Amino acid sequence: MNFDFRQYHVRAINANSEAEKAAINQELKDLYETLNETEKVAFNEQLQTFLVSQYKSLATDYNALKDGGAFN
């Protein structure tokens, strides 16, 4: 089973309020609760992979801006 964390991420970025972000987060929690143990393992692994990719992307963007003199 594959989970599309990007759709939740994009929705949260575009949320109009903290309440909307919380509702999106709750959707993920509710989804998790419906999974069996094997699916929960896959969910957690895929979530970790997604989060790491997002952190790497942020770091790359930050370093590009920093090296480009944006922070000088």
Residue 3 in this model has a pLDDT that exceeds 80: yes
Question: Structure tokens of 43?
Answer: 């969910």
Please check the confidence at residue 72 and state whether its pLDDT lies above 60. no
Domain coordinates in residue numbering, the chain: 5-67
CA distance 12 to 4: 13
Q: What distance in Å separates the CA atoms of residue 44 and residue 35, rounded to the nearest whole number?
A: 11
pLDDT tens column, 10-31: 999 999 999 999 999 999 999 9
Looking at residue 43, its pLDDT comes to: 97
Nearest to 2 by CA among 46, 61, 33, 37: 46
